[in-house]
Structure 1
Amino acid sequence: MPVTDSMFLLVETREHPMHVGGLQLFEKPEGAGPEYLGELRRDLLANTEVRGLFRRRPARPVSTLGYLGWTEDTELDLDYHFRHSALPQPGRVRELLELTSRWHGTLLDRHRPLWEIHLVEGLRDGRFAMYNKVHHALLDGVAALRHLQSILSDDPAVRDCPPPWGSRQPEPARPAHRPRSLLAGARGTLGQFTGLAPAAMKVAGEAFREHRLTLPMQAPRTMFNVPIGGARRFAAQSWPLARVRTVAAAAGVSRNDVVLAMCAGALRDYLIEQRALPDAPLVAMVPVSLRPRREDGAASGNAIGALLCNLATHKPDPAARLATISESMRDGKRLFSELTPLQTLLLSGLNVAALGASPLPGVVTNTRPPFNLVISNVPGPRRQLYWNGARLDGIYPASVLLDGQAVNITLTSNADNLDFGITGCRRSVPHLQRILTHLDTALAELEAATAA
């Protein structure tokens, strides 16, 4: 088990579940009867071909070193992992999000493979939902979404899509042990480490001489940067991708810059509403995938870098906020492009290192946060997809929270939409759903500010 993966098991506690999740909404295929979901579940359970990743459970920990390896569950209980639930009346999306909030706040059983899937019926508009969660030690958000896409189809007539634990392709054979190639790999890794000193000098020059980088521990204290409990709230909504694309083209910035500006405007309005907006600008940690673009749904583990972005929440003008955000992200990406992948990963670790001390008593309440929240934009499907004839309507990511990080915003593209999922500490972030209203307002303000 790589160290980057085992750390997610090591830091997990009851207050800090370390799984990523997602809520998908589907329209039933034409002609689906009242027993559609029950029959679908029975058919899927009959498919016992399981991708090896979903048979892994942590091997016995090695003293204080934590978990160092995986073991395979040879008697996987699919009926435990794949569950069928129904919403209470009146079956609104509100009830679905409340149920999702509860599921997302419970720990996965480490005596079993670290994943669960819930098939949900009872929505009054006739749709059905699927909530899934998988431990961050197994998959990061990018890999999880790529796996989901790999089991779907762009053909509504296809009825042989694999179950969520399956795969369209056979498991690849494990490579034979080759000492020479391992030695070469070790030499390459050593070379990467020796390059860290000049990389660190480059970062220092950017940050201190040119004042162009946002560094950790510069963020102001906010109501989000407090110790958290284990209970969660989850809110979700979609916006047309075309609206974001239009603003990006008018302002000459990236779509991700516009998304970050939406979030900045929403957070500013939410904190004003709570009478808690700091004078200094909020700082977001923006995960950057280090995976190859062509990597398929068989990816596993974690390959994520971390940029820090100035959200300019102290500026009332939405156009000025957007310009500052774009400049901040441009400088960070330019620096990453000049580093090797390992150097990027290690220097990203410096951006988030302070979170490692957050469980210690008094650290969160007596120190400045390394950043205020995580805002993650995960690439999703570019075309309309189906699951055994059911039309995929929405993909809403649910993410991880830590002490000092009581809210997370993650979104993904889904054909013509952007689907936002907001995860918050139930105790620390009141009226979480209000952030959705403020996101809508922020997008409208950006449209007005950039209109010709």
Structure 2
Amino acid sequence: MEQIKPQDAQFLYTETDDNFNHITLLLNFDGASEKSGGALDFENLKLFVQKKLKHHPVYCHRLVRLPAELDYPYWIVDELFEPDAHFSIKPLPAPGMWPELRAATCDLHSQAMDMSRPLWDVTIFSGVNCNGEIKGGFTVAVRLHHVAVDGIGLLKILANMAMPLSEADEELNDEISDDSAMMSWTNLAGRALKNRFRHTVNLAGTLLKGTSVVAPTARRFLKTKPSERMRVHPTRFNSSVGGDKIFDVINVDLKALSAMRSLYSGATVNDVVLAVCSGALRRYLQTHNELTSTPVVAWIPVNARSVASTGERDSGNNLSAFTAPIYTNIADPVARLAKIVAATQSGKGGSSAAGLLLNVTKCLPATEQYLFSRAINATSAASSTCNLFVSNVPGPAHSVHIAGHRLESLAGLPPLGEGMGLFIATPSYNGKLYFNVISTAAILPDIEFFMSCLQDSFAELQSVMKV
């Protein structure tokens, strides 16, 4: 029995009946070669993935919530756990190209997970003809709830799957322990009282430390002319996100993107990613006559794990964040990149209100966290701080194989927040960086055009490099 952390609970409490907080990881493989006999053994593939996932704490554990959210939920062993019930193999409709794979992915990502059992499932799409040179490939779609894992944790799972089976993997232990004794109400009530006291003390300490951020920020705000203060102008992306989600992805050469850092001193890969997104958003909004003189503002998650925490468990969430304007109001791409560099350096400098907000919510007692999360949803408060999410998580730098199959490409679909209807996730793999765009059809009805805006924005920066 293990209790979830306050930050994990945010992804549980902000979930609604038509907007779900799970992550979908797409792993794309081409077909079987003639050397392998020209056939794919999906049962062995399923067994391999099962053996790899069994090490993750969420594998055979389900969530138990307390009445009135008196304390944070617990992971307990699911006494009815059946691994095979979490796997499905689905043939992709003909002709098995990208439109069919994308539609199947969107449909899967838009479906709720069964919150009464372990919060993961694996869908293997067969008959995929767009993953590589050999037809008849397949795609493995792994869904995990965000309460159990963040982007870094998901890539740790991928790294483990890329390793050959070990003796520990082969030792499938189907014995289920019994947590019922620890789940007595006497025990839970005592824990709840202790946790409330502990979280209250931690919250006070965080607020005290936060004065070092709030005071300078307030002074800068008062010294800045009203006309020069950063504002968040609502855009079409600050809309309700209920209903089915849409998704598309393009990839660019990572080496070429990394070289663009030389366009401005101090620029990082993440800055260049933001510059590409900014250029795309400028094109898109301008085409729809929605471009304003106020820059679009991005919410940028940051891995809060320390450099020394390489052995940290891959479950749960450990994130910070900051917001930064990405200067869609500036036409010149180099000038835009320069302003983005300054904005991200300021945000990462520890003076971010978004970072302080996340630190505060990490210390809230469960009842207050629940009420706060529901208020955020009801008021779409996130839309007053930013217009979209942009997340950059580096993946494997070289080609990897899973169960003997070479991974051709990958994609990731994170959840959307209420009032925050655009998420651009940019994982990298084997020399490519993937721009994954997640939204809804109501917010982004012409997603294909938006993807072309991303390509044009990248090409624009490339053209500047050649001058």
- The TM-score with structure 1 as length reference comes to 0.83
Distance 1:367 1:238 in 2: 29
Distance 1:297 1:440 in 2: 37
Matches within 5 A, 1:227-242: 227-242=240-255
- Where structure 2 has 5 or more consecutive residues not aligned to the other structure, the ranges are 130-134, 174-194, 364-370
Change (3 A) 1:37 1:239: farther
Amino acid at match of 1:50: K
Aligned to 1:256: 270
Amino acid at match of 1:318: P
Q: Given the alignment, which residue of 228, 238, 243 partners 1:225?
A: 238
Deviation by residue 1:53-89 (Cα, 9 ceiling, x = unmatched) = 2222111432254752222113322122121111101
Distance 1:317 1:200 in 2: 33
Does the 8 Å contact 2:32/2:38 carry over to 1?
no
Deviation by residue 1:249-287 (Cα, 9 ceiling, x = unmatched) = 233311111110100111111122233223311000011
Distance 1:93 1:184 in 2: 50
Amino acid at match of 1:110: M
Aligned to 2:30: 27
Change (3 A) 1:49 1:93: closer
Change (3 A) 1:10 1:392: same
Does the 8 Å contact 1:281/1:313 carry over to 2?
yes
**Within the alignment, does 1:292 sit opposite 2:306 as a pair?**
yes
Greater shift in the superposed pair: 30-39 or 392-401: 30-39
Aligned to 1:435: 450
Change (3 A) 1:73 1:348: closer
- The TM-score with structure 2 as length reference comes to 0.81
Distance 2:331 2:372 in 1: 30
Distance 2:262 2:117 in 1: 48
Amino acid at match of 1:55: C
Distance 2:52 2:208 in 1: 47
Q: How many residues get paired?
A: 422
Does the 8 Å contact 1:237/1:421 carry over to 2?
yes
Deviation by residue 1:106-163 (Cα, 9 ceiling, x = unmatched) = 111011111111111111233321111111110111211222112214xxxx576998
Aligned to 1:170: none
SS of corresponding position for 2:349:
helix
Superposed displacement of residue 415, structure 1: 2.1
Matches within 5 A, 1:201-220: 201-209=215-223, 218-220=231-233
**Within the alignment, does 1:403 sit opposite 2:418 as a pair?**
yes
Does the 8 Å contact 1:26/1:127 carry over to 2?
yes
Does the 8 Å contact 1:55/1:73 carry over to 2?
yes
Does the 8 Å contact 2:207/2:360 carry over to 1?
no
Does the 8 Å contact 1:290/1:305 carry over to 2?
yes
Q: Given the alignment, which residue of 307, 312, 326 partners 1:311?
A: 326
Aligned to 1:375: 390
Deviation by residue 1:187-218 (Cα, 9 ceiling, x = unmatched) = 8886555322223223334554479xx999x2
Greater shift in the superposed pair: 225-234 or 102-111: 225-234
Amino acid at match of 1:53: V
Distance 1:302 1:42 in 2: 27
Does the 8 Å contact 1:250/1:451 carry over to 2?
no
Distance 1:405 1:416 in 2: 30
**Within the alignment, does 1:269 sit opposite 2:273 as a pair?**
no
Distance 1:283 1:108 in 2: 31
Aligned to 1:7: 10
Amino acid at match of 2:417: L
Aligned to 2:186: none
Aligned to 1:133: 143
Superposed displacement of residue 301, structure 1: 1.0
Distance 2:372 2:59 in 1: 32
Superposed displacement of residue 289, structure 1: 0.8
Superposed displacement of residue 27, structure 1: 3.3
Does the 8 Å contact 1:149/1:297 carry over to 2?
no
**Within the alignment, does 1:104 sit opposite 2:115 as a pair?**
no
Aligned to 1:174: none
Aligned to 2:156: 146
SS of corresponding position for 2:59:
helix
SS of corresponding position for 1:433:
helix
SS of corresponding position for 2:444:
coil
Matches within 5 A, 1:342-361: 345-346=358-359, 357-360=375-378
Does the 8 Å contact 1:151/1:161 carry over to 2?
no
SS of corresponding position for 1:380:
coil
Superposed displacement of residue 40, structure 1: 2.7
Change (3 A) 1:348 1:409: farther
Amino acid at match of 2:325: N
Aligned to 2:85: 80
Change (3 A) 1:27 1:49: closer
Aligned to 1:415: 430
Distance 1:185 1:268 in 2: 43
Quick one: percent identity of the two aligned structures? 26
